[in-house]
Amino acid sequence: MTAATRARPHRDGRTRRKPQRTCIACRQTRAKHELVRIVRDTAGAVAIDTTGKRSGRGAYLCADAGCWERGLRGNALEHRLLLESPLSREDRGRLSGEAERVLLERRKG
Ligand SMILES: [Zn+2]
């Protein structure tokens, strides 16, 4: 292995290579790919980011209906995404519907 291919050491001393993220509902830390990303894009629109690559501020929830219910119920999402106003009921409904589809896809593998 050359120096160029070696993983950069983490400042906190962890050597795990897989990026880890925390679910905003249950606070569990999981591998990023196991979680579903919600992104607030530069226009301020909040949507589920199935690619995990969209730019904007992101929040993560487990691929678990219970976590989505909890995550959309309170203001954790607003807090995490630094939204200026709370999500509307329509927004929550839309995200919850999108999440249902994404979770179904995830289960199928
Ligand atoms: Zn969770």
Split at pLDDT 50, 70, 90, the class of 39 is: very high
Full-model pTM: 0.81
Multiple choice CATH, 20-108, 3.90.110.10, 3.30.43.10, 3.40.50.300, 3.30.1230.10: 3.30.1230.10
* 69 φ/ψ angles, rounded to the nearest 5 degrees: -60, -50
60 C-alpha vs ligand 1 centroid, how far in Å? 8
User: Which pLDDT score is estimated for 38?
Assistant: 97
Which pair of tokens denotes residue 17?
A: 């290579």
7 C-alpha vs ligand 1 centroid, how far in Å? 28
pLDDT of 12 strictly over 70: no
Q: Count each helix (H run) and each strand (E run) in the chain, helices first.
A: 3, 5
pLDDT of 100 strictly over 80: yes
Instruction: List the chain domain ranges.
Output: 20-108
59 C-alpha vs ligand 1 centroid, how far in Å? 11
Which pair of tokens denotes residue 41?
A: 């894009």
4 C-alpha vs ligand 1 centroid, how far in Å? 35
